[in-house]
Structure 1
Amino acid sequence: MNEINNLLLDIYHASQNTCVSEFSDKIFSLIKREINFDSGGFCDFNTSDTSGIKLLSAAAHNISTYDKLHARQNYLEPEFVEGQNKLTSADPSLAMAFKNKGNSVTLSVYDKGIKSNVAAYGIKTECIQTMVMVLAPPMPNRFQTLSLWRRKNNAEYVQNDNCKANIIFPHVFQAFAINRQIHRISEVKNPVNGTAICSLEGALLFIDDVAVDFLSREFHSWIPPFLPSILLENLRSTSEKIYIGKLFVLTSRRQKDLLFLNFRKTITFENLSPTELVIAEMLVRNETYKAIAQKLGNQPATVRNQAHSIYSKFGISGKAELAKIINQIR
C-alpha cells in the first residue's frame, strides 16, 4: 500500500511540474509502476442527442491517436448516449465502463460473445486486452475515459489489476485536470472566451466548452479531436498566427511542441470608441505612440494605454495582428 501512496504523490507532483507535451508519457510511465500495459489513452468526449458522442481531445501513450481514431471509425458504428447510464456502443468495454462509472472494466477481444468487427478493431490497433474507466460522476454532456491496453492474447488483466486501477485511476483523472488548468492559466494572461491546447499536427489535448461551440458553429463538418484542417493551415501559413472567422478570432502561441489557442468572439468597429478607432487606424499605418500623441494632443503613455485596450478587445498582442483584423472587417 505504501507503494501506491507514493505513486499517488508522484502523480500529483507531475501534474503540477510537468509541461503538457510531456505529461501524458510521464503519467502513464508512473502507472506502469503498479499495472503493466503496452499502450494507453486519456479521452474527453462530448455527448449530444442529435450527433451522438464526439471525441473532443485525447492524450495517447505508445499509440497514434490518429490511427486509433481512424480504425475506430472504420470498424465500429456511431455511438449514442441514452440517459445517464446507457451508452449504445459497439465497443463493449466502453459501454460497460459507462454503465459502471468509477469502476475499472476489463475485456479481451477473444472473450466469448465479442463481435468480429470489435475483435478486428482490437487486433488492428494492438489492443487485445483492455482496461478502461469512465470518470464518475459525469459532467453535463461530457465524460472522460482512461484506458490501458495490452497487445498479447495471454496477458489478461487480473483482479489485482482492477483493485489497483480503482484506487489509482480517479487520481489520474484529477491529475490531468490539474495539469491542463495550470498550463491554461499560465499561458492565458488576458481573459478570453475560449481556450484549447493542441499538438503541432492539430491533435487536441485540451479544449473547453466555449471553444467547442465556436468550432462546431464555424465548421459544421468539424470532426474532433483534430483542429479543422483549414484553420490549422491558416495558422501555419501566417506569421501572425491568427485566424479570423465569421464567429471568432483565434490567436495561437507556440510553446515547444504545442499550440496554445485563445478564442474570442469576432467584434466589429462598433466595439471601439471613436478615439480607439482613430488610434487603431494610425497603429495599422505603423505610427509610433509619440506621433499619435502629437496628432491627438495626448501623452504617449495615454496612447499606449489606449492601444493596449484595443489589443485586449481583439484578443491580440500587436500591430501586425491588428492590421489583419481591420483589413478583414473592412
Structure 2
Amino acid sequence: MTSPALHDFSLLLLQLYRLSHELPIDAFQDAALELVKPVLPFDASMWGTATTAAEGIDVHTLHLHRKTPEMMMEYDNFKHLDSAAASFFGKGHGTRGFHSKSWWSGTTYAPFLDYVQRYDQNNIFITMDSDPRSNFMHWFSLFRADPDAHCKPEEVNLLASLSPHLMQALALNRIVHLDRLEAGSQAPSGSAIGDLRGVLYHADNFFETTLKTEWPSWHGRTLPDALLKHFLHGHARYSGHAIVVTHRVEQRLLFLKSRMRCRADSLTPREHTIAELLARGDTHKDIAAILSRSPATVRNHIQSIYDKLEVGNVAGLIHELRLAG
C-alpha cells in the first residue's frame, strides 16, 4: 500500500469508527457499507453471524443491504450447495473472491448457479472470522451484478485489511448503544449483548461474575439455557436466587443487564407500586386515593415496605429502590 493509499485508508478507518460511536444500531451497518463502496465497488451485501454444519450455514443474525428477505428464504433450499461458504469452514478467518459462473460450474451446482444469477450475485467477495471450537462465524458478503466485474487480487487484499475493522466497529457500535441504554442507572450492574440463539457477542466482567454466582458451572460463551428460555417465553426480567437479569430486544439482539439481588427485590408488586409513589412524594392518603384503598391499609403496606428494605424514612427507601435500577 503506497503512502497516499495508506493515508486514504487511515481516513476511512477514522470515519468508520466515528460512525460507530455516532449512529444508532439500525443505521450503522448501511452507513459502514456505503463508506466502503468508493474504494471497493459493489452493488449489494449481507452481513451476519452463523454457525456452520454439514448442510450449510445456520444464520443467527443478518443485515441485508440492498437485498430482500426473499433471497435468504430461498437460500435455505440451496445452502447445501454453497461450496463458497463451505470453503471457509474450519479455517478460522479468511477473505476470497468468487466468479459465480466459474466457481459453480457443472450439473451438480446448476441449481445454485441459477439462484445466485437470479439475485445478481455474479461476482462475490466473502470475508469471515470464525471460532473453530464452536463453529460460530461472523461474515459479510459483497455482491457485484456485472458478470465481468471480477474480484481482483488487490481488492481481495483490501477487503482482508478492512474486514477486521468493520467487524470491530460493529461491535463498538452495539456496546455504545448498550451504554446509552444503561445511562442513569446507579446500581452496580453488568452488561452483555447476545443473539436470540443465546450466543454472547460481548459481556463485561461484572456480567460474567454475576451469572457465575447463579450458575457456578457456566462457561461464558452462551447464555445459560434457563435464562435464554425464560426470555424467549416473553419475560423481560429473570429473578434468580442470587441475581436479577433484564433484557430488551433490538435488531434481533438481546441487550442484557445483570445485578445482584437487593432488598427491593423482595417487595410484592403492590408494595413496589406504593414504594414508587412514596418516592415521588405522595403521602399515604394520596396513595390510598390513587389505589382506592383505605389509609390504614396503605399504612400497613408502608410499614411492611420499610421492614423489608430495613429503612426508616423515604430517603432510605429511595436509595434502596435505586439499587434495584
Q: Specify the TM-score bucket, using the shorter chain as the normaliser.
A: 0.5 to 0.7
1:183-194 alignment runs, 5 A limit: 183-189=177-183, 191-192=189-190, 194=192
Match of 2:213 in 1: none
CA distance in structure 1 between the aligned counterparts of 2:110 and 2:133, rounded to whole angstroms: 33
Change (3 A) 1:42 1:208: same
Q: 1:109 aligns with which of 90, 100, 104?
A: 100
Q: Once the 2 structures are TM-superposed, how far is the Cα of residue 28 of structure 1 from its aligned partner?
A: 0.5
> How far did residue 70 of structure 1 move?
0.9
In the TM superposition, residue 304 of structure 1 has moved relative to its aligned partner by 1.6
Query: Following superposition of structure 1 onto structure 2, how do residues 56-135 of structure 1 map, counting pairs within 5 Å?
Result: 56-64=60-68, 66-77=69-80, 90-98=81-89, 101-111=92-102, 113-114=104-105, 115-135=109-129
TM-score (norm 2): 0.65
Matched to 2:95, the amino acid is S
C-alpha change, 1:53 and 1:40, in structure 2 (3 Å) is closer
Structure label with greater radius of gyration: 2
Distance 1:141 1:95, change over 3 A: closer
**Distance verdict in 2 for CA 1:294–1:92, change over 3 Å:** closer
Query: TM-score of the superposition, structure 1-length normalised?
Result: 0.64
Q: Corresponding residue for 2:248?
A: 252
8 Å Cα contact 2:56-2:82 kept in structure 1? no
Describe the shift of the 1:262–1:178 C-alpha distance in structure 2 as closer, same or farther (beyond 3 A): closer
Measured against aligned partners, the alpha-carbon deviations of 1:226-250 in whole angstroms (never above 9, x if no partner) come to x97x75xxxxxxxxxx646899975
The corresponding residue for 2:210 is none
Structure 1 residue ranges without an equivalent (≥5): 78-89, 221-226, 232-241, 313-330
Q: Gaps (5+ residues) in structure 2?
A: 204-219, 285-298
Q: CA deviation at 1:150?
A: 1.1
Q: Could you tell which deviates more after superposition, 111-120 or 168-177?
A: 111-120
Change (3 A) 1:253 1:158: closer
- Are 2:305 and 1:301 equivalent residues in the alignment? no
Does the CA contact (< 8 Å) of 1:211 and 1:263 recur in 2?
Answer: no
For 1:156, what is the secondary structure of its paired residue?
A: coil
1:172-227 per-residue CA deviation (whole Å, 9 max, x = no partner) reads 22222222222223323553565358xxxx9x9x965879636797569xxxxxx9
8 A contact 2:56–2:79 mirrored in 1: no
Q: Is the 8 A contact 2:43 2:144 kept in 1?
A: yes
Q: 1:39: how far off? A: 0.7
Match of 1:81 in 2: none
**Identity level (%):** 14
| Structure-1 separation of matches of 2:104 and 2:172 | 39
Amino acid at match of 2:64: A
Q: Which residue of 1 aligns with 2:216?
A: none
Deviation at 1:7, TM superposition (A): 1.8
Among 142, 145, 152, which residue is 1:148 paired with?
Answer: 142
**Which one of the candidate residues 262, 278, 286 is aligned to 1:288?**
278
**Distance (Å, rounded) in 1 between the aligned partners of 2:110 and 2:53:** 28
Matched, 1:159 2:159: no
Counting matched residue pairs gives 268
- Asked if 1:177 corresponds to 2:171, the answer is yes
Secondary structure of the 1:44 match is: strand
Contact residue 102 and residue 166 of structure 1 kept, 8 A: no
